Amino acid sequence: MKTKSLQNYTQIHTPVMISEVTNYLNLQPDGIYLDGTIGAGGHATEILTLLSIKGRLIGLDRDAEALDICNKRFGASALPIVTYKSSYDNFPKVIGELGISKLDGILLDLGLSSMQLNSETRGFSYNSSGALDMRFDSEQSNTAADLINQISEKELSNIIFEFGEERHSRKIAKSIKSIKTILTANDLKEAIRKATPPHKRNKSLARVFQAIRIAVNSELEKLRIFLDIFIDYLAVGGRIIIMSYHSIEDRMVKHAFRSLKQSGKLDVLTKKPVIPSAAERKNNNRSRSAKLRAAERLI
């Protein structure tokens, strides 16, 4: 990505529920924090304004393009931040290499960025027309096109139903597999068009693209791993915030927090998920489905 487009992106990118994030994190100036999905650094920018030079922010992301934007944003500064190209479920290895055993706060924003959705070459959105890629990590071997072309119709139907919660999953899978080779977002969009009623087609398109993206990137498995281990690395009094954009993810977070609360380890700070204000939802389309849950470690 050229420098000009990098600058344009940092200007238009709007982090979701930024004030809610900083409030629930209860940032301590000298604390050590993890942004496990740092992306272009939207939330990180605000977090860093509240840290002293003794504080530390560790940023992780699987997307090299987003991380490049983030590094250009902060690279020439003396801010207390370090970034790594890594998935958030691998954070124990990263902080271990830094000699850190406990974190004062953890943030995960599980949504797609505007850059990813608007890319014509990565195939995240049904509004794109380019290659059907959908990988967060471009070094990963299989693309979305590879997945679709390699799995069976039944496996594809299960992915669409389970991850997309799409009632027309069988018809859609059959239509997709009837095409000899799916290579582009347009190819996939056309197959979905043939199998869905027009009045609800956009919702079906969004669900199918979402389901395939989740499968390609093993998103739910990575979240499952993270939810099983994060408590061991959160300091007593430390806080965790997870923003999800999918009902399955939100349920996973809800159940994990509830289980840790029942064991006495965690105080859940959000009885119900926090959602963006009406004004934010109007001004930032990406925030519409966001749900924020926050908790604090007790023992």
pLDDT in tens, 79-124: 899 999 999 999 999 999 999 999 999 999 998 887 888 888 899 9
Q: How far is CA 169 from CA 145, 239, 246, in A?
A: 18, 39, 17
SS3 284: coil
Predicted local distance difference test score (pLDDT) of residue 128: 87
- Give me the residue label for tokens 């922010």: 57
Residues 147/197, Cβ–Cβ less than 8 Å:
no
What does the mean pLDDT of the chain come to? Answer: 93
Distance in angstroms (rounded) separating the CA atoms of residues 83 and 137: 15
Query: Which pTM value belongs to this model?
Result: 0.92
Main-chain dihedrals φ then ψ at residue 56, nearest 5 degrees: -155, 135
Alpha helices in the chain (DSSP H): 3-12, 18-25, 42-49, 64-74, 91-97, 114-118, 144-150, 153-164, 169-178, 185-195, 201-216, 219-229, 247-262, 278-283
For the ranges 32-36, 158-162, 189-193, 199-203, the lowest mean pLDDT is seen at 199-203
Q: What are the structural domains of the chain?
A: 3-115+220-297 (3.40.50.150), 141-216 (1.10.150.170)
